Amino acid sequence: MRVVLIVEYDGTDYCGWQCQPNGLSVQEVMENCFFEATGEKTVLTASGRTDSGVHALGQVVHFDTALEQPAESFKHVFNAVLPPDIKVRQSFEVAKNFHARYSAKKKTYVYRTYISPIELPLKRRFAAQIFGKIDMDKMLSAKKLIEGTHDFAAFCASGSSAKSTIRTVFSIDIERRGDDIDFYVSGNGFLYNMVRIIVGTLLAVGYGKISESDVANAISFGERKNLGKTMPACGLTLCRVEYSEI
């Protein structure tokens, strides 16, 4: 039986989703918990890696099991042994050909920021501090250049192993409430650090540090140098992954 898990985690204390030689990963913790609870060894496959320190509200994970029990009960199996910063919100059976990564059609991330001259104790865990006066209209104009199907080579951290750098960004929604600005970014897939570079770039436009034409040139010619900085991991949360099948 193939089972899907919808997983929420606070990524602060983890080196990301995927097992790494240095540092504890969410995957490793979950696989160990499953073995501890059931005695069965399994491999968990997620919709994608999240980087070190990145959070998830709805990471989608699949695994195969020979255990004969209702798929819905695996939620409780995991939660009984998982630490408080990782929990399974749902578990259910899927078709054998479902794949958490390859079947994904749409992913939505939120990047949370707050404007403050000092790093705030009550916000720092799940949002990134930003400074100064930001021109929202400039950001709302620049985000239209990023939406759509483009070669996002310039929006990709070095060291990425992606074969193609063409991706479709379905939408970028920027929500401001007082000093909090949240960026919702939906796409069919993202390159390494792509969401964090998109947000850094929109903020650089909002501060007037770079122009809309810098963004247009980056998309046309793949030039990273005139884009904004990569924002820190703490502000990023994988909200949800959508599939046509489930």
Catalytic residues: 51
Angle of the 136-146 helix axis to the 212-221 helix axis, nearest 10: 20
| Nearest to a copy of itself of 66, 118 (CB atom) | 118
How many other CB atoms sit within 10 Å of the CB of residue 199?
31
Q: Which span sits near a copy of itself by CB under 8 A: 38-46, 83-91, 168-176, 202-210?
A: 83-91
Beta partners for residue 151, in sequence order: 166
Q: Is 240 in the site for a copy of itself (CB under 8 A)?
A: no
| Nearest to a copy of itself of 110, 194 (CB atom) | 110
| Nearest to a copy of itself of 103, 237 (CB atom) | 237
Beta partners for residue 191, in sequence order: none
Q: Is 121 in the site for a copy of itself (CB under 8 A)?
A: yes
SS3 call for 218: helix
In whole angstroms, the minimum distance from the beta carbon of 7 to a copy of itself comes to 9
SS3 call for 137: helix
Cβ distance 155 to 167 under 8 Å? Answer: no
| Nearest to a copy of itself of 120, 216 (CB atom) | 120
| DSSP one-letter string for 46-91 | ESS---TT-EEEEEEEEEE----S-GGGHHHHHHHHS-TTEEEEEE
In whole angstroms, the minimum distance from the beta carbon of 116 to a copy of itself comes to 9
The distance in angstroms from the start CA to the end CA of the chain is 15
| Nearest to a copy of itself of 49, 124 (CB atom) | 124
Q: Is 178 in the site for a copy of itself (CB under 8 A)?
A: no
Q: Is 89 in the site for a copy of itself (CB under 8 A)?
A: yes
Q: Report the distance separating Cα 176 and Cα 197, nearest Å.
A: 19
What residues between 4 and 33 interact with a copy of itself by CB under 8 A? 8-10
Q: Is 176 in the site for a copy of itself (CB under 8 A)?
A: no
Pairing state of beta strands 148-151 and 166-177?
antiparallel
In whole angstroms, the minimum distance from the beta carbon of 237 to a copy of itself comes to 7
Q: Is 120 in the site for a copy of itself (CB under 8 A)?
A: yes
Q: Is 99 in the site for a copy of itself (CB under 8 A)?
A: no
Pairing state of beta strands 236-243 and 55-64?
parallel
Q: Report the distance separating Cα 238 and Cα 56, nearest Å.
A: 5
Q: Report the distance separating Cα 50 and Cα 200, nearest Å.
A: 18
Q: Which span sits near a copy of itself by CB under 8 A: 33-41, 84-92, 145-153, 185-193?
A: 84-92
Q: Which residues in this chain contact a copy of itself in the complex, by CB under 8 A? A: 8-10, 55, 57, 79, 84-89, 118-122, 124-126, 237
